[in-house]
Amino acid sequence: MEDSIFTKIIKGEIPCHRVYDDEKTLAFMTIHPAQPGHVLVIPKKQVQFLWDLPDEDYQAVMATAKKVAQRVREVLRPPYVGEMVVGTDVPHAHVHIIPFESSDQLLKKPDTSIEPDHSALAAMAEKLKF
């Protein structure tokens, strides 16, 4: 399988705004957030669908997603923090962690045609980093 954009991020070939990193997982700011504080959690093993990960890797991704969601809630203090697995945009398993106030915000489709605001993403990553 060809390296996904996420695998290239893991290898350091493409930069990202890291929030959390361990042996099995990586969490970073998505470049087109649905809401400020939108973080992606990925396994370091490239597998297209979350459900196809070996149990140990799946459990690591979900444990990291929980840690990231707790950190988002602690730092940003939104009324809600959502977790979504969609799996259609990048062929590499990933979990979206999204702070929100209403379901419209959680389900908002970001405009991917605009250039990412890397300074805002870097600032948010710095706030959330642990």
Q: Which residues are catalytic?
A: 94
Single out the residue of 98, 62, 65, 66 nearest to residue 82, CA to CA.
98
Q: CA 113, CA 85: separation in Å to the nearest integer? A: 22
Cβ neighbours of residue 124 closer than 8 Å, sequence gap 6 or more: 17, 29, 36, 37
Q: CA 50, CA 94: separation in Å to the nearest integer? A: 7
Q: Which of the 8 DSSP states describes residue 84?
A: E
